[in-house]
């Protein structure tokens, strides 16, 4: 059977820095994501595509806030599900157009994906992930009182809501995703890290939390026994001493080296850190190989001609 690649792209893949995020911009950017993914399919690989939703979730939350006086307010988990549908459609449409152009008969499907988190996760006692728009101190305090939000000052722009960021434990729709892959479909899943849920049979309310997209991608790749976890980011390779005079690209890393560089602060939490952490988790759970690159070099990275390749230290013993 052909190799299975789980490709994870960030939310900024569809809304680039400096763009306003119009639908036209997102469709155009989606074509640039679709092209290398279709190259993978054309080369005979099977593909599962995961994506972030950072810019889109912010817009969804703001729409909910602005319209709250006229229609019901959407909780965060519903906004995650909404962005999974929105982004999934944009990517599906771009892939469908590109697949027709290449005369490839591959069906693409997007699945709303729930991800189980642990109610006892320490993150629920220390909400730290900022989401949504900025508020004045007065408005933020009012929402804390009325809606039970946690808020924190975010730089000099004002106050923002903060929510927990627990670790993903299980993919609820795993077997549905696997069935689609086994039937030869390309699946878009795990969008925005997944909709966080508790497995406690309580449907009275969802879980308002942010799951890191790269961690969910690592978990999904592991559970699907994917041959390669490919994380697409804004640079063609991982760099040490990034943006310093001593900056240097790295072609290969082991999990031991990744842990050492993480401890040294080489990979910041708001930048390359979560991606490195995710690849280590995937490899420690039996994954074969991980690669980090930009979307333009995706196929070249998969065949070993670009990107930073990461393997388990145990495989090098």
Residues 70 and 205 grouped into a single domain: yes
Residues 145 and 275 grouped into a single domain: no
Burial of 112 (0-12, 13-18, 19+ CB in 10 A): middle
pLDDT digits over 62-83, tens only?
899 899 899 999 999 999 999 9
**Whether 229 contacts 6, CB under 8 Å:** yes
Residues 109 and 218 grouped into a single domain: yes
Residues 134 and 214 grouped into a single domain: no
pLDDT digits over 137-184, tens only?
999 999 898 888 899 998 778 999 999 999 999 999 999 999 999 999
Residues 133 and 69 grouped into a single domain: no
Residues 174 and 271 grouped into a single domain: yes
Write down the pLDDT at residue 204: 65
Beta bridge partners of 76: none
Please state, as a whole number, how many other Cβ atoms lie within 10 Å of the Cβ of residue 243.
7
CATH of the domain at 101: 3.40.1160.10
Distance CA 227, CA 45 (A): 10
User: Long-range contacts of range 136-141, CB-CB < 8 Å, 24 or more positions apart?
Assistant: none
Distance CA 190, CA 271 (A): 20
Cα distance from N-terminal residue to C-terminal residue, the chain: 28
Residues 177 and 96 grouped into a single domain: yes
Residues 307 and 189 grouped into a single domain: yes
Answer left, alpha or beta for residue 282, where phi above 0 means left and psi between -120 and 50 means alpha.
alpha
Catalogue the active-site residues: 11-12, 129, 213, 275
- What does R_g of the chain's alpha carbons equal in angstroms? 20
For residues 102-119, give the mean pLDDT.
Answer: 97
DSSP-assigned states of every residue in 134-152: EE-HHHHHHHHHHH--EEE
Structural domain range at position 146: 127-163
Residue 79 CA to chain centroid, in angstroms?
A: 15
Residues 203 and 89 grouped into a single domain: yes
Residues 76 and 137 grouped into a single domain: no
- Tokens 């966080």 belong to residue: 196
Percent of the chain beyond pLDDT 70?
99
Write down the pLDDT at residue 317: 53
pLDDT digits over 203-261, tens only?
767 799 999 999 999 999 999 999 999 999 999 999 999 999 999 999 999 999 999 99
Residues 176 and 304 grouped into a single domain: yes
- Count of domains observed in the chain: 2
Distance CA 90, CA 85 (A): 9
Distance CA 18, CA 150 (A): 29
Total length of the chain: 317
Residues 134 and 113 grouped into a single domain: no
The dihedral of CA 114, 118, 124, 127: what is its sign? negative
């Amino acid at each position: 059977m052909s190799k299975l690649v789980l490709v994870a792209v960030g939310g900024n893949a569809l809304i680039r820095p400096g763009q306003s995020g119009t639908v036209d911009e997102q469709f155009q950017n989606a074509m640039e994501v679709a092209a290398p993914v279709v190259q993978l399919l054309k080369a005979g690989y099977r593909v599962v595509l995961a994506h972030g939703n950072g810019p889109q979730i912010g817009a969804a939350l703001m729409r909910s806030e602005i319209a709250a006086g006229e229609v019901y307010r959407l909780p965060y988990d519903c906004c995650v599900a909404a962005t999974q549908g929105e982004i999934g459609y944009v990517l599906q449409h771009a892939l469908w157009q590109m697949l027709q152009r290449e005369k490839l008969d591959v069906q693409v499907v997007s699945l709303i994906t729930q991800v189980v988190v642990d109610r006892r996760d320490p993150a629920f006692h220390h909400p730290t992930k900022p989401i949504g728009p900025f508020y004045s101190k007065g408005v933020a305090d009012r929402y804390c009182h009325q809606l039970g939000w946690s808020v924190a000052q975010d730089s000099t722009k004002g106050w923002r809501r903060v929510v927990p960021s627990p670790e993903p434990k299980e993919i609820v729709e795993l077997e549905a995703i696997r069935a689609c892959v086994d039937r030869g479909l390309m699946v878009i899943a795990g969008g925005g890290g997944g909709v966080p849920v508790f497995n406690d049979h309580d449907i009275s309310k969802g879980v308002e939390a942010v799951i890191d997209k790269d961690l969910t991608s690592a978990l999904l790749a592991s559970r699907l026994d994917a041959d390669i976890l490919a994380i697409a980011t804004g640079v063609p390779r991982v760099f040490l001493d990034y943006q310093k005079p001593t900056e240097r690209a790295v072609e290969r890393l082991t999990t031991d080296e990744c842990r050492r560089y993480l401890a040294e602060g080489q990979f910041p939490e708001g930048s390359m850190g979560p991606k490195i952490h995710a690849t280590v988790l995937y490899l420690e759970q039996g994954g074969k190989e991980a690669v980090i690159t930009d979307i333009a070099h995706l196929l070249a990275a998969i065949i070993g001609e670009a990107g930073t390749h990461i393997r388990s230290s145990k495989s090098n013993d």
